[in-house]
């Protein structure tokens, strides 16, 4: 087989930000803190915990500073925050000592970018360049995220060259990691393979992260496809796939289950990840849809067959 499958992967947990942002209700701050602490115990080394968007735009994440100041995770966990603009960065830098990485972002689609943050892609990139300098000057790790990398609901196909061109600009700004988001679940496994094969070639030395939504049930297949061409970094959502009918991510526990069964080391304890998911389930007050919560980890002892 000509697989470039890595023997281990890193899974960045984005649930406390990407997940809660999409929840219909506002989750109490202490529940968020409890979940992040539990994710830290489950073995996640990178957790996205807050976003510095204006609280009137995203009230679900208005308590970011409160969350940052009160979480208690092992010392080797890298905490990440998402920064939408220079104003957000001003606010984020006031509490700079509470996190380690800052993420800047853009949509590869002009229309999606405009609808999302009300600026053109060019305006966003020039602001991102200024922010990148400030973030690096603070000694923080700089990450960048490109939304709608695999297709846009308003513009349809986004040329691969446009997405990778933006990624190259981010690399020039000093980003050591670039995440490609399938924001509305339009990717398919064949395109994902072509996409990441090209990305890995054009962006040597940059950590490339795949982030898939499971909108059309192809999230895990897309993750498998990215893995097979050599992607070893994934950003996923543990504990809280969003409510029925909306565009949830793949749940981390299902991704962990698949990778570990394939012999790919995630560094995570699946039972503990499922435990975190159950905690989230309890405070969200509804059943989550991940398969691993329902079925549990694969049991190879065959004990069930004996009954
Ligand atoms: Zn997402």
Distance of CA 47 from the midpoint of ligand 1 (Å):
14
pLDDT higher than 90, residue 45: yes
Distance of CA 136 from the midpoint of ligand 1 (Å):
24
- Structural domain contains residue 207: yes
pLDDT higher than 70, residue 23: no
**Residue closest to 183 by CA, chosen among 117, 257, 132:** 117
- Structural domain contains residue 163: yes
CB 69 within 8 A of CB 98: yes
Residue 118, domain extent? 15-295
Half-sphere exposure of 264 (CA within 13 A, CB side): 23
pLDDT at 163: 98
CA gap 178, 197 in Å, rounded: 15
Total structural domains within the chain: 1
More confident site: 236 or 298: 298
Q: Which residue has the tokens 């993750």?
A: 223
- Structural domain contains residue 98: yes
Ramachandran sector of residue 150 (left: φ over 0; alpha: ψ -120 to 50; beta: rest):
alpha
pLDDT higher than 80, residue 299: yes
CA gap 262, 289 in Å, rounded: 22
Distance of CA 299 from the midpoint of ligand 1 (Å):
31
pLDDT at 283: 77
**Residue closest to 290 by CA, chosen among 253, 235, 236:** 253
Tens digits of residue pLDDT in 145-177:
999 999 999 999 999 999 999 999 999 999 999
- Structural domain contains residue 307: no
- Residues carrying an active site annotation: 240
Tell me what the pLDDT averaged over the chain comes to. 89
CATH number, domain at 116? Answer: 3.20.20.70
CA gap 84, 127 in Å, rounded: 10
Kindly report which listed range (49-63, 73-87, 91-105) carries the lowest average pLDDT score: 49-63
Range list of β-strands (E), the chain: 10-13, 46-51, 78-82, 101-107, 141-147, 177-182, 207-212, 233-236
pLDDT at 76: 95
pLDDT higher than 70, residue 307: no
- Structural domain contains residue 69: yes
CA gap 100, 87 in Å, rounded: 19
Distance of CA 213 from the midpoint of ligand 1 (Å):
6
C-alpha dist (Å) from residue 158 to 27, 32, 149, 151, 178: 34, 35, 7, 5, 17
Can you tell me the mean pLDDT for 61-83? Answer: 93
**Residue closest to 29 by CA, chosen among 69, 74, 57:** 69
Q: Return the structure tokens found at 105.
A: 């972002």
Half-sphere exposure of 110 (CA within 13 A, CB side): 4
Distance of CA 249 from the midpoint of ligand 1 (Å):
6
pLDDT at 58: 76
- Structural domain contains residue 35: yes
Tens digits of residue pLDDT in 197-209:
999 999 999 999 9
Binned at pLDDT 50, 70 and 90, residue 284 comes out as confident
Q: Return the structure tokens found at 216.
A: 């059309």
- Say what percent of the chain tops pLDDT 70: 93
pLDDT higher than 80, residue 43: yes
Tens digits of residue pLDDT in 227-263:
999 999 998 765 434 444 445 678 889 999 999 999 9
Angle at 278 between CA 272 and CA 283, to 5 degrees: 135
- Structural domain contains residue 86: yes
- Structural domain contains residue 107: yes
Asked whether the whole model's pTM tops 0.85, one would answer yes
């Amino acid at each position: 087989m000509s697989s470039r499958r890595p023997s281990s992967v890193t899974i960045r947990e984005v649930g406390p930000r990407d997940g809660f942002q999409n929840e219909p209700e506002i989750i109490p701050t202490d529940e968020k803190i409890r979940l992040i602490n539990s994710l830290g115990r489950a073995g996640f080394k990178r957790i996205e915990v807050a976003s510095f968007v204006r609280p009137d735009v995203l009230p679900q994440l208005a308590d970011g500073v409160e969350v940052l100041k009160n979480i208690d995770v092992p010392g080797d966990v890298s905490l990440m925050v998402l920064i939408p603009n220079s104003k957000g960065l001003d606010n984020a830098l006031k509490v700079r000592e509470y996190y380690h990485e800052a993420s800047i972002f853009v949509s590869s689609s002009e229309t999606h970018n405009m609808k999302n943050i009300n600026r053109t892609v060019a305006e966003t990139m020039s602001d991102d360049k200024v922010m990148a300098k400030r973030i690096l000057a603070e000694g923080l790790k700089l990450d960048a995220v490109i939304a709608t990398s695999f297709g846009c609901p308003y513009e349809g196909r986004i040329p691969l060259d446009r997405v990778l061109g933006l990624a190259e600009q981010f690399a020039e700004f000093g980003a050591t990691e670039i995440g490609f988001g399938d924001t509305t679940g339009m990717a398919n496994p064949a395109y994902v393979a072509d996409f990441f094969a090209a990305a890995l070639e054009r962006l040597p030395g940059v950590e490339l992260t795949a982030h898939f939504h499971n909108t059309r049930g192809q999230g895990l297949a897309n993750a498998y496809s990215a893995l097979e061409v050599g992607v070893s970094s994934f950003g996923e959502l543990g504990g809280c796939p969003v409510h029925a009918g909306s565009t949830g991510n793949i749940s981390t526990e299902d991704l962990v289950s698949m990778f570990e069964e394939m012999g790919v080391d995630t560094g995570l304890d699946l039972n503990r990840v499922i435990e975190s998911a159950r905690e989230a389930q309890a405070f969200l007050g509804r059943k989550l849809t991940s398969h691993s919560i329902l079925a549990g980890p694969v049991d190879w002892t065959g004990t069930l067959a004996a009954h």
